[in-house]
Amino acid sequence: MTFIANFFGKNPSVYVQMEGVAVENGNRKEYLIVIMDISKRKQAEKEKMRLLQTISMEISVTKDIRSVFSKDL
């Protein structure tokens, strides 16, 4: 499960991933929960998408320019 959490209002929102497991050992139940900050990964994913969109746009513009010049020949 991934969600956005704002810890204590001190930091901007961060992305965290929570993983947990429950184990029953006789009459005892034990729970282990881990919360991992994945903000840098999410930031890298956003930057990757931005760069891919920029590259796609540049390719489109290049194709348009080539089509204009090829018509002139």
Q: Which residue has the higher pLDDT, 71 or 10?
A: 71
Whether the CB-CB separation of 56 and 49 falls below 8 Å is answered with no
pLDDT at 61: 86
Distance of CA 16 to the CA centre of its chain: 11
Predicted local distance difference test score (pLDDT) of residue 67: 82
**DSSP 3-state assignment of 15?**
strand
Determine if the pTM surpasses 0.85.
no
Phi, psi (deg, nearest 5) at residue 65: -65, -45
**Cβ burial 53-65 (10 Å sphere, 16+ → b, else e):** eeeeeeeeeeeee
Residue type, position 2, single letter? T
- Token readout for 46 is 């956003």
| Res. 46: pLDDT tops 60 | yes
